[in-house]
């Protein structure tokens, strides 16, 4: 570490950018040319262990040699330079590239995939696919009526049916209008934006340590599941159909809130019982950080989801879905780019690295080292750390309040560690898949000193 963070150069650049746009969210400016592996370098020359990895979106570290090599191959140049409108003019190798990238890691039972540019548009278009599927089912797969065609043009039923997505308090699914109606993590995300009357169920608030509160946590999960069913029925009575349920395997932005595998199995059953599509949002949990490629694999279900959305570590956005959710006409799920073939090319290489270096097992192993160390720190500093939890390297803990959390993150950054916050007082860990045991121990030693001297 050479300066405090943000240092003088970062502060100067912040000032410049703030003259062009609101840049108040910027932490510091980075030197990506010098960043390597798990280490992020800022413009003032500070080299930091990055446990946040661009809000959980760097799969195999900075400047990975395999990706650099990929970009240096002349035959790949065209893919990076000529970005096509994929829905109408895809490149010759597009289907082949999808097979070697996304379809090689497709969740069980979901053979169809559509790519998008980000997490929000993945969820937004998944909602649309669900609504179309539901309406098609309702009209008995018959032809669309003249009334439907005319009424949809003025935002009225029957062409625009009164359907809803059920979401959970604390969930985060993106910032576009439909997604925002299912996002309930921070008020600042939603303030001043008109929204939709869609049902919001409570997400279980588990007590820790889990082994000490088995009965209480079971009751809490049962209460939330009961509320889900009640909401579906209640909305149906007011002529609003819940066409789908959206949930994250671990609520990420909302505070790293976990529920048991049994909770998700029962929620899946409720969706099936009421004829709702079950959409699993794996934008932040997907790609291997929990020790399985998809976090929902931990649930052990034969039929875990109807639709699974992804982005972040997957390099591209998009969603996998069952055959029956396939749009029944062109241009129904569509935009100009529909993702980017260069990202599929990079993802195929990332998947090769994950397999070659056994990075899913690494996430389990390194995650265990991290979680064990955090539990030890919790035992030593219970006034600063509570509710330590995690799966793989997807770990977190609570601090007493927002001010303490922010202070700990700032001190850690000045000691050379980048951490992230989530919820109203949690600190989350989102390292890359090449984060090893020794990185965990390096962090734990630094953080132990911070906690010992915390005033």
Active site residues: 172, 281, 312, 336
Q: What does the alpha-carbon distance between residue 394 and residue 361 come to, in Å, rounded to a whole number?
A: 14
Distances (CA, A) of 109 to 63, 297, 307, 320, 395: 34, 12, 10, 9, 29
SS3 of the chain: the string is: CCCCCCCHHHHHHHHHHHCCCCCCCCCCCECCCCCEECEEEECCCCEEEECCHHHHCCCCCECCHHHHHHHHCHHHHHHHHCCCCCCCCCCCCHHHHHHHCHHHHCCCCCCEEEEECCHHHHHHHHHHHHHHHHHHHHCCCCCCCHHHHHHHCCCCCCCCCCEEEEEECCCCCCCCHHHHCCCCCCHHHHCCCCCCCCCEECCCCCCCCHHHCHHHHHHHHHHHHHHHHHHHHHHHHCCCEEEEEEECCCECCCCCECCCHHHHHHHHHHHHHCCCEEEEECCCCCCCCCCCCCHHHHHCCCCCCCEEEECHHHCCEEEEECHHHCCCCCCCCCCCCCCCHHHHHHHHHHHHHHHHCCHHHHHHHHHHHHHHHHHHHHHHCCCCCEEEEEECCEEEEECCCHHHHHHHHHHHHHCCEECEEECCCEEEECCCCCCCHHHHHHHHHHHHHHHHCCC
């Amino acid at each position: 570490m050479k300066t405090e963070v943000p240092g003088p150069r970062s502060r100067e650049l912040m000032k410049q950018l703030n003259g062009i746009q609101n840049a108040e969210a910027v932490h510091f400016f980075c030197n990506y040319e010098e960043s390597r592996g798990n280490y992020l370098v800022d413009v003032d020359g500070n080299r930091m262990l990055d446990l946040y990895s661009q809000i959980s979106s760097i799969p195999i570290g900075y400047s990975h040699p395999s990706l650099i090599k990929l970009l240096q191959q002349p035959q790949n140049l065209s893919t990076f330079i000529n970005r096509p409108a994929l829905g109408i003019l895809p490149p010759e190798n597009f289907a082949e590239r999808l097979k070697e990238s996304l379809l090689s890691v497709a969740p069980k039972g979901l053979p169809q995939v559509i790519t998008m540019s980000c997490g929000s548009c993945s969820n937004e278009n998944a909602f649309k696919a669900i609504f179309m599927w539901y309406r098609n089912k309702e009209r008995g797969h018959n032809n669309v009526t003249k009334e439907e065609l005319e009424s949809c043009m003025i935002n009225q039923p029957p062409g625009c049916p009164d359907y809803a997505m059920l979401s959970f308090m604390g969930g985060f699914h993106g910032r576009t209008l439909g997604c925002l109606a299912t996002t309930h993590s921070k008020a600042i995300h939603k303030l001043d934006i008109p929204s939709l009357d869609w049902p919001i169920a409570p997400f279980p608030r588990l007590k820790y340590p889990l082994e000490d509160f088995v009965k209480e946590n079971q009751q809490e999960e049962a209460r939330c599941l009961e509320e889900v069913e009640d909401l579906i029925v209640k909305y149906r009575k007011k002529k609003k159909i819940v066409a789908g349920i959206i949930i994250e395997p671990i609520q990420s932005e909302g505070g790293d809130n976990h529920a048991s595998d049994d909770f998700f199995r029962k929620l899946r059953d409720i969706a099936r019982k009421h004829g709702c599509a079950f959409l699993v949002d794996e934008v932040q949990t997907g790609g291997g950080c929990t020790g399985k490629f998809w976090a929902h694999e931990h649930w052990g279900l034969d039929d875990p989801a109807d639709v699974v959305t992804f982005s972040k570590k997957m390099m591209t956005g998009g969603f996998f879905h069952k055959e029956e959710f396939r749009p029944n006409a062109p241009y129904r799920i569509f935009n100009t780019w529909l993702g980017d073939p260069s990202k599929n090319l990079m993802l195929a290489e990332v998947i090769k690295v994950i397999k070659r270096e056994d990075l899913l097992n690494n996430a389990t192993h390194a995650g265990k080292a991290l979680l064990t160390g955090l539990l030890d720190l919790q035992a030593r500093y219970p006034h600063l750390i509570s509710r330590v939890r995690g799966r793989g390297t997807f770990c977190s803990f609570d601090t007493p309040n927002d001010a303490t959390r922010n202070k700990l993150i700032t001190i850690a950054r000045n000691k050379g560690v980048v951490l992230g916050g989530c919820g109203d007082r949690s600190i989350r860990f989102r390292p890359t898949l090449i984060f090893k045991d020794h990185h965990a121990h390096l962090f734990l030693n630094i953080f132990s000193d911070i906690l010992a001297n915390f005033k």
